[in-house]
Structure 1
Amino acid sequence: MTTWLPNPAALRRPAYQSLADQFAQAIAKGIVAAGARLPPQRKLADDLGLSVQTVSRAYEELIRRGLVVGEVGRGSFVLSPAAEDRSPYLAQREAALIDLSILKPVTERRHVEIFRKGLHWVADNLTESAALAFRPNSVMPRHKQIAADWLGRNGLDVAPGNITITDGATSAITTAVMSAVPVGGTIAAATLTHHLLIPLCKYLGLHLEGLPFDKDGILPDALDGLANKGSLHALYIQPSAINPLAIVSSLERRHELIKVARRHDIQIIENDMLNRLVEHRPPPLAALAPERVLHVNGFTKSTLPGLRVAWLVSPPRTALATANRHLVTNWMATPAMVELLSHWISDGTVDRLILWQRDALRERHQIAQEVLGSAPFHTHPQSLHIWLELPPGSNEEDFVAQARRRGVAVASGGAFRIDDRGRRDAVRIALGSTTASDLRQGLSLVTDTLGSTAEPLLPLIG
């Protein structure tokens, strides 16, 4: 049994959440080792002066986060690092299963041909520096200027030197989080957020706080209240339809959040991966508060999945730190792929792919509306997914399992949830991950699952 105990003086409301956070940080730092048995709930409650109910809820929260497992009659044990967080998507495609779990743009055979043609261009035009250079500064200046010009046409005035070119959004987000939040620091996000942010913060030893939101995005008063409680370093935000509920925050809400961030000197990490795909969106937060927003802008969601390049725009005060964090974790983006993106921006291919994607998504959303009918779901005309709310009393994990038995894979809402405050069980359904006909069939299977009575899942034994 672990001899480490949480500090009761550091607890804040809600106490169970704060208690779970202390355990999570101790586990992340190795203070509480894998396999360690947590104190019995009643004993810990007595030691800390808490109710047994509070400790019980904290242990349940640790189980939900995948950090602890409860064994009847034995107690609660810390899981080993090998017990990784479950992804919201299938790790690999299964035969005869319609996969609506992974977020991808709509693609057709033409996209393969466009990619092949682009790679032929790269082969014929690859520069010596792109092929042989080992220093980012000797490869990327021209590409950063092209990036700055493209961003400028989309409302974001940025100096090329403040752009870090990365191998996709995951690399850019990791670099941004490491640059904005020190080890042991606190970052906030909507309670439903990017599924990779949750394990990333755990791996980096950061404290992640969930913020309530409404149909316009994160509530400014909630951000202000959290900042007033103590040291908050950064806010992670997905304001333009890439968030789980596909919300596009208004210009007014963006200004309100920036006002709070300026008052408390909070940095903002803005995930804008859909960028120009979203029509009539307000300006990005980086255009409204360039002194404090780290802006992630990429192309895998708006053009085609293989174009794994993203730009991370940093404020001048953090540009050097961002570049250093990226050097340590990734060194530099793959030059050949950066050459391809720069060429496609220059010859208009990226713009044409984005316009095509809008038209394709229009058809996919029409299919979803026709098949799901009156089922309650959230979406946006240019989002790549819908967020389907389940009937009261449903359990999203059971629903995902039942749907999979019927032949369709969807993503559980739990993968995107920081905590259970205001919880409404739901699933995320990707619209672009398969053909239009398979989407229609898969959504029909989802509808069948919605209308069925949940049955216990029996083992399939031959």
Structure 2
Amino acid sequence: MFIPDISGRSGPKYLALADAFAEAIESSELKAQTKLPPQRILSYRLGVTVGTVTRAYQELEHRGLVSPKVGSGTYVKDRQSETRTFYHPVSSKHGIDLAICRPLLINQQQHLSRTLQDLSLEPIAQRAVLDYCSAEGLQGHNQTLQHWLGQRFNSDIDSRRLLWTYGGQHGLSVLIQALTRPKETILVEGLCYPEFLHSCQQSERKLVPIRLDEQGIIPEDLELHCQRHKPRLLYLTPAIQNPTGVCLSDSRRLRVIEICRRHQVLIIEDDVLYCPPAHRRTPLVAIAPDITLFVGSFSKYFSGGLRVGYLIMPLSLSLPMQKSLRASCMHVSPLMIDLVCRWLTNGAMDAVDQEIDTELKARHRILQQIFSGAGQGAVPGFNVWLPLPEPLSGQPLSRQLQQEEVHVREAEMFAVDHYPVPAAIRISLTGPTSRSQLKTGLEIIQAHIESASEQSL
């Protein structure tokens, strides 16, 4: 009998219980036609009222995940219905995906449903979001983003410095095309976000790695390469370094800004990865707005399918940014932006932020149970950088794990040019859709590491 774990979940208990069952169903931990526990037994086992269980089962039925049978109980619906087949990905990984970095879908579907209902009653808004608009966007959308960012960064930001994008990756491409030309040099962290590397390679930009330590990029190495290569841009992930999870220290932030300003280097501050509220710091763009281009996105903070992001840029660069945006997509869908703005103003974005933070803490507790001390010194975000003992290295271990349908990202994927590759893998704690699936994947990784260590003795 499946008894879900609702410890550490925020909100009403019936919703926490429904969410736990939903995760188990979505991950196929609970198969089609499985009977849910009798309500009285479940209420006793979890220490909640029967009414709480009843409401949870009604919520699951409302979501279309279960169906009651009179005199028999409540059963998981058949997952192979026509609707689910229609929306099934063309290609998907089998097994436990600890490679993909994504926010878990908790209550986002309910927010989407309510917001679409609200929009359906507003004909003026409907017409506006269905029409063409300029690259600058719609006035109300920009004012909403300006107000939200002003509160988030405790800084007054001119709305003319803002530009909507199709997520963070699109924002990075817009910046590369607007500010550099083929063969020009971009400085990057020695271990770097792979898709940024691919984007630069596709557009024939030269990448030069800067050395990293436990505080982020090393200023002395940055100074050396600024003198040697005369770069136009420096690409950074200062809030949570991807893949190591290190946060650029305050002293390093000021030193990096000083070096870049002196050498006339613009800073791309990639702040796309989810950062827990307790670990958020003042971004570089609030300290040095004249040389910083900030890339933000709601994909990791709300849902991966949203694909809405934004740029904060020096006002002097607004025209080339708009030209680059128009060249890539003309303008970002005002319909998608309108949904985001409604969530920013009605509290949905903040609510999901807290829900993600709560679930993330629970998943880090599971990590510590299996890998005590893992991620020490890093920001406890979606990803964990796991150094490997000798004789293991990232790529061979990744291939071994794939044979058991456990997917991770090896250090080799992040190394720039000839930068030394550490023996490590990156694990995404939010890739699995359930906690039990995460625990199973981590235990498989632990078993492989222990086996390799024993063989080396």
TM bracket (short chain): 0.7 to 0.9
Partner residue of 2:110 out of 110, 113, 118: 113
Question: What residue is the counterpart of 2:74 in the other structure?
Answer: none
Match of 1:396 in 2: 394
Separation (CA, whole Å) in 2 of partners of 1:396 and 1:154 = 37
1:307 alignment partner in structure 2: 306
1:148 paired residue among 125, 146, 149: 146
Which AA in structure 2 matches 1:93? S
Matched letter for residue 177 of structure 1: I
Give aligned pairs, total: 361
Q: 2:100 matched to which residue of 1?
A: 102
**TM-score under structure 2 normalisation?**
0.75
Deviations along 1:27-74, whole A, 9 cap, x unmatched?
A: xxxxxxxxxxxxxxxxxxxxxxxxxxxxxxxxxxxxxxxxxxxxxxxx
CA shift for structure 1 position 242: 4.8
| Distance change >3 Å, CA 128–CA 350, structure 1 → 2 | same
Change in 2 beyond 3 A, CA 1:261/1:385: same
The one-letter code sitting in structure 2 at the alignment partner of 1:401 is: R
In structure 2, the partner of 1:86 is none
> Which residue of the partner structure matches residue 359 of structure 1?
358
> What is aligned with 2:425?
427
Kindly provide the CA deviation profile for residues 154-174 of structure 1, in whole angstroms up to 9, marking residues without a partner as x.
224321111110111111111
| Cα deviation, residue 193, structure 1 | 1.0
- Offset at 1:378? 5.5
CA shift for structure 1 position 321:
0.8
Q: 1:411 to 1:419 in 2, by over 3 A?
A: same
Mapped contact 1:248–1:281 kept (Cα < 8 A) = no
Asked whether the equivalents of residues 120 and 126 of structure 2 are also in contact (C-alpha less than 8 Å), the reply is: no
In the aligned structure 1, how far is the partner of 2:90 from the partner of 2:200? 21
Offset of 1:135 from its aligned partner?
A: 3.1
- Aligned residue for 1:295, secondary structure, equals strand
What displacement does 1:358 show?
A: 1.0
Aligned to 1:342: 341
TM-superposed CA distance for 1:252, in Å, is 1.5
For residue 27 of structure 1, what is the aligned residue in structure 2? none
Change (3 A) 1:386 1:220: same
Is contact 1:407-1:445 (8 Å) kept?
no
1:58-207 mapped onto 2 (5 Å cutoff): 92-95=91-94, 97-108=95-106, 110-125=107-122, 126-137=125-136, 139-155=137-153, 156-207=155-206
Equivalent residues of 2:247, 2:379 under 8 A apart: no
Shift of 1:395: 3.0
Task: Read off the aligned partner of 2:113 and give its amino acid letter.
Answer: R
Unaligned runs of 5+ in 1: 1-89, 455-462
In 2, are the aligned partners of 1:279 and 1:382 still within 8 Å (CA)? no
Alpha-carbon distance in structure 2 between the residues aligned to 1:153 and 1:442: 39
1:180 and 1:254 map into 2 onto residues whose CA distance is: 23
Residue 385 (structure 2) aligned to one of 378, 387, 398: 387
CA distance in 2, matches of 1:216, 1:296: 21
- Structure 1 residues 381 and 236, CA, compared in 2 at 3 Å: closer, same or farther? closer
- Residue ranges of structure 2 left out of the alignment (5+ in a row): 1-88
Q: For the Cα contact (< 8 Å) 2:246–2:379, is it kept in 1? A: no
Match of 1:417 among 407, 415, 418: 415
- Match status 1:293 vs 2:292: yes
Distance 1:232 1:101, change over 3 A: same
Aligned CA RMSD, in angstroms, stands at: 2.0
Tell me which moved more, 153-162 or 428-437.
153-162
**Which amino acid letter does the alignment assign opposite residue 414 of structure 1?**
E
Which deviations, in whole Å up to 9, do the C-alpha atoms of 1:417-455 show, x marking residues without a partner? Answer: 10343421211111112211100011111111212249x
Partner SS state of residue 296, structure 2: strand
2:96–2:406: 8 Å Cα contact kept in structure 1?
A: yes
Contact kept? 2:171, 2:309, Cα under 8 Å: yes
- Counterpart for residue 272 of structure 1: 271
- Counterpart secondary structure, 1:127: helix
Task: Give the whole-Å Cα distance in 2 for the aligned partners of 1:359 and 1:342.
Answer: 24
Partner of residue 42, structure 2: none
CA contact (8 A) 2:216 2:241 kept: no
Deviation at residue 389 of structure 1 after TM alignment = 1.2
CA distance in 1, matches of 2:197, 2:420: 18
Q: Which amino acid aligns with 2:308?
A: V
SS of the counterpart of 1:124?
coil
Change (3 A) 1:380 1:302: farther
Task: For 1:145 and 1:261, locate their aligned partners in 2 and report how far apart those are by CA, in whole Å.
Answer: 31
Partner Cα distance (1:119, 1:417) in 2: 43
Q: Given that residues 412 and 428 in structure 1 are in contact (C-alpha distance below 8 angstroms), is that contact kept between their aligned partners in structure 2?
A: yes
Task: Summarize deviations over 1:134-166 as a string: whole Å, max 9, x none.
Answer: 4344x4222111111111112243211111101
Which whole-Å deviations, capped at 9, do the CAs of 1:56-108 have from their partners, x for residues lacking one? xxxxxxxxxxxxxxxxxxxxxxxxxxxxxxxxxx994233x111110011333
Q: In the aligned structure 2, how far is the partner of 1:202 from the partner of 1:384?
A: 27
| Number of the residue aligned with 2:448 | 449
How many Å separate the matches in 1 of 2:390 and 2:140?
Answer: 55
CA contact 2:230–2:263 (8 Å) conserved in 1: no
Q: Does 1:258 align with 2:257?
A: yes
Structure 1: how far apart are the matches of 2:275 and 2:242? 16
Query: Using a 3 Å threshold, how does the CA distance of structure 1 residues 332 and 242 change in structure 2: closer, same or farther?
Result: farther
List, as ranges, runs of 4+ consecutive aligned residues in structure 1 with deviation greater than 6 Å. Answer: none
8 A contact 2:98–2:431 mirrored in 1: yes
Which residue identity is paired with 2:360? Answer: L
